[in-house]
């Protein structure tokens, strides 16, 4: 199956750092990330949850297990959930 056919059958295509992840009927197909890699949304953080437009961030650290998964994995809240930097209260 060519890449074009796979994308045509996908429900969504996520491209980050030149790598592509797709969501199709069989589920989420992940791409490999390296240490200190980061991004927003899929495939490692929620997308449009709990509200449409919410962008969750993610980042990996350096330490990995023998099986290749990262010990250090971080999720970042969407902006509307983060404390304001100027000390003012967020209106959620």
Nearest Cα residue to 73 out of 88, 57, 85: 57
pTM: 0.60
Which 3 state secondary structure label does DSSP give 6? helix
Q: Which residues of the chain have pLDDT under 70?
A: 1-29, 87-92
- 24, 7 in Cβ contact below 8 A? no
- 21, 32 in Cβ contact below 8 A? no
Nearest Cα residue to 78 out of 89, 61, 52, 70: 52
Average per-residue pLDDT for the chain? 74
């Amino acid at each position: 199956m060519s890449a074009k056919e796979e994308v045509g059958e996908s429900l969504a295509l996520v491209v980050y750092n030149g790598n592509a992840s797709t969501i199709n009927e069989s589920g989420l197909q992940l791409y490999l990330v390296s240490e200190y890699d980061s991004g927003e949304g899929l495939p490692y953080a929620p997308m449009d949850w709990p509200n449409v437009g919410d962008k969750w961030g993610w980042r990996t650290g350096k330490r990995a297990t023998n099986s290749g998964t990262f010990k250090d994995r971080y999720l970042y809240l969407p902006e509307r959930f983060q404390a304001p930097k100027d000390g003012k209260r967020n209106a959620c």
